[in-house]
Chains A and B, each alone.
Chain A
Amino acid sequence: MGKGYVIKRILYTIFIFFIVITLNFFIPRIGVEDPAERYYPAQGNMTDIEYDIIKQLTREQYGFDVSTFQQYLRYLNQLLHGDLGTSLQAGSPKVIDLIAERVPWTLVLSASTMLIGVVFGILIGAYAAWRRGGWLDNAVLSASTITTALPGFFLALLFSLYMGFEWEWFPAYTDPNLVSSFDWSWEAISNVLQNAALPILATAIGSIVGYAQSTRNSVISVADEDFITTARAKGLSNNTVLYKHVLRNAMLPIVTSLGMSISGLIGGSVVIEQIFNWNGMGTLFLNANNTNDYPLMMGIMIFLSGFALLANLVTDLCYSLLDPRVKLGGARR
């Protein structure tokens, strides 16, 4: 992997990010003359005069009183300084602070789900493929039809119904004071784990099966390659062939899907968070939507796209380290 490739890839990422930012800027301006109308939609009991005053105030407060192009430049400048904007919430908190507060809580769910999925999924998938047609292989195949056809949130509801309400194994709704009372004590940590158990369980199943299936398919297709026959003709044992020749090649597509799940780590659990009342990014966004908090919504969108871009970039660079065939400047996905 050459330096040129890395630089080119980084520049391209910045270029795409710039376009995403531009699109984002125009979203609250779709269909209205004045973004102030988005920020404060007219209420039924307001007179036109009252509303005009509110709009005027909003315009001044958020700088909509200059031309759109100037607003755009100001927006870019603001982002360049790492400022994602100011929320409309009481007390005008900074968007970036609100996000920073929520991200760890979302990660508790999504990162542990991914970790469980990756570890168990790859192990199960590799074993299933190596014993093709065995019981585990069949189990993976049938499980994958079921989990792809059953939405994760439906499973979550079922778990909540039985393990939460009926059998009372785990809390069905997240403790509302979970975030505010968290102080790194053992008690608090175990409280978090208990509350996170159901959402993690509900999503981890799909994640395990997903990784198991893609690992299985990948291992099977690699196992049919000629170089595996070569390796076996060398007299290498089955296990050596599996670990030294099959898995390394079979991991390549897995790295790509790993990158995709990393890019969804932060924004991908809206529904699950909603079901369990989990105070993460998903609930933050839904609340912002319910209160028409456009600066917060747009800030989150920028943050999520930026994170996804970064994840893609890192994945691509890792991939080119793992696969010597990716040449300089070879865009591949």
Chain B
Amino acid sequence: MKKQSNNFFLRLWRHPKGRTGIIIAMLLVFCAVFAAYLAPYDPYDVTQRAEKGLSPSWSHPLGTTITTGQDIFSMLIYGTRVSLIVGLVTGICTAFLGALMGLLAGYVGGFVDSLIMRIVDIMLVIPTLPLTIVLTNIFGKSYFMIIFIFTVFGWTGLARVIRSQVLVLKNSNYVKAAELAGASRWHIMFRHILPGVTHLLIMSTALTSAGIMVAEAGLSFLGLGDPTAISWGKMLADAQSGGALLFGHWWWIIAPGIGIFLSVFSFMRIGLALEEMFNPRMKQGAGVRKLFKSLNNTYIQGIFDEMNEDAAGKPADGKEAAKA
């Protein structure tokens, strides 16, 4: 098991998209964990506020906010925490819920299946954003609420994918064999079928996390996140209401935007890399084009010449060394 996972990360690392994704994601995680050491000021500390509305300088690389005089660069670094935590936790929770529902629907089938599919249909028509707004009104604004709502509404797509995959696996010989051997439903579901869809779950976690990071920024922008936390979406909202547009303080807007872009971009890269790893058909096209451009005529001619009838009848001379 250990060896498998090592191998898996190695494969992701070897994938060009995967590598960019991992590098950026690791940098972001580093920022989030060591925010207190990396940020020149503590933006939560009211005593560490400078003059309001400063332009970028050596002491304040991205200036200070017009409204409170907080250091924007420090806010940017601290903001990584919210984005990563909300994105990752929701991604993981969604994967769990989606897997469970998909497995139940696909493997148990019958009544359970139609019940879950009805729930999916209902989830799809309920307007998520207005509901989130109402629920934060009822339960108060917090990131827990956001994670909860996104999980409750986010599992449907994955559940469908898992369900159809499970329907395929259900008819495979090894599951049939396990059934004949008298294994229990739960045992088969989690021991035999679940491993067959793990790759979908990992992929979905990465892609969902990326999507949630965008959505979280939007909700924080609307002021639905924890009002005391510093997040990129809220920074943008503050920038807008605080007059960044009016005074042309572009750095106050660009900075959180780049933060959102990098975090979403990195997770999307990882997700896409995984998709290509698990489903090589996705890759065709661009890769082959590039390959075609890299081939030169003499090389091609050489390969064609090797196949000539004259080449037959002679002993092989290690000509099989195909370009890797």
Contacts and interface: CB of A to CB of B under 8 A. Distances in A.
Q: Would A and B touch once assembled, by the CB under 8 A criterion?
A: yes
Interface of A: 16-17, 19-20, 23, 27-28, 30-31, 38, 132-133, 138, 141, 145-146, 148-151, 153-154, 157-158, 160-161, 164-166, 172, 220, 263, 267-268, 270-271, 274-275, 285-286, 289, 292, 297, 300-301, 304-305, 308-309, 312
B130 A31 contact: no
Contact residue range for chain B? 35 or more
Given A31-B139, A148-B264, A151-B260, A308 B285 contact: no
Contact of B265 (A20, A132, A149, A157): A149
Contact of B122 (A20, A38, A133): A20
Given A151-B260, A297-B130, A309-B125, A31 B218 contact: no
A319 B138 CA distance: 39
Contacts of A289: 133-134, 137
Given A300-B130, A301-B130, A312-B125, A271 B221 contact: yes
B279 to A, nearest CB: 12
Contacts of B268: 145, 148-149
Best-surrounded residue of B137, B221, B254 (most CB of chain A within 10 A): B137
**Chief secondary structure at chain B's binding surface:** helix
Contacts of A172: 245
A270 B253 contact: no
B75 to A, nearest CB: 16
Contacts of A38: 138
A154 B250 contact: no
Contacts of A286: 133, 222
Contact of B130 (A30, A274, A304): A304
Given A145-B268, A153-B236, A271-B218, A133 B289 contact: yes
B300 interface: no
B109 to A, nearest CB: 15
Contacts, number: 125
A165 B248 contact: yes
Interface in B101-151: 118, 121-122, 124-127, 129-131, 133-135, 137-139
A151 B134 contact: no
Nearest to A292: B137
Contact of B236 (A19, A133, A157, A308): A157
Best-surrounded residue of A154, A164, A220, A312 (most CB of chain B within 10 A): A154
Nearest to A31: B138
Contact of A23 (B126, B246, B250): B126
A274 B222 contact: yes
A166 B222 contact: no
A306 B110 CA distance: 28
12 contacts: A20-B125, A20-B126, A27-B131, A28-B138, A133-B289, A145-B265, A151-B218, A157-B257, A268-B129, A270-B129, A308-B127, A309-B125
